[in-house]
Amino acid sequence: MPEWIPVPGSAKARLIEAALYHFERAGFEACNVTELAAKAGVTTGSLYHHFGSKLGLYTVVRDDMEKRITDRMEGAAAAVTDSGGPSRSAVRAALLVAFDAAVRFDACRLLGGPPMVDAPDPIEDTIRSLIPADLRVAALVLAAAWRAALLSVADGAPAESARVALEYTLRD
């Protein structure tokens, strides 16, 4: 079994669950290690043992959620892609499915912010893979629009309104 898959009910699994909830509600900066550990029913030593730091825990939670989202993006794009290669409809489908999944997973704040570490952005990279080579710089703009829509939901906007705004940016 891969190391990153925690045993259900274990200290590691409870820390991940607590982190997902609290990072979504308050954001990375507002969460502290003591609160995260207490909510998971473990000591801070357990958090440091499993993840090394609050950033280590955040990275595990975010990476897992980004993987779930990019898998859905790729599937949505494949469902509408014809033999002609990348298309606007594939990008549109990928971003809207990703938005809907982030809302359903209750991960809008978590995914709405930029990645915290100096690493490739999997959302932007997935979008870039769906865009013709001469337009790949647009992936940055589209990823930013997607994140802005998610953050608006995290800040209290109705998900449907944010989705309509995102759709507007993706019109033909």
Q: CA distances (Å), 136 to each of 23, 47, 70, in order?
A: 31, 39, 17
AA identity, residue 68: R
pTM of the prediction? 0.88
In this predicted structure, what is the pLDDT of residue 170? 85
For residue 24, pLDDT over 80 is answered with yes
Instruction: Say which range, 17-26, 81-90, 107-116, 161-170, has the weakest mean pLDDT.
Output: 81-90
In this predicted structure, what is the pLDDT of residue 86? 66
For residue 165, pLDDT over 70 is answered with yes
For residue 3, pLDDT over 70 is answered with no
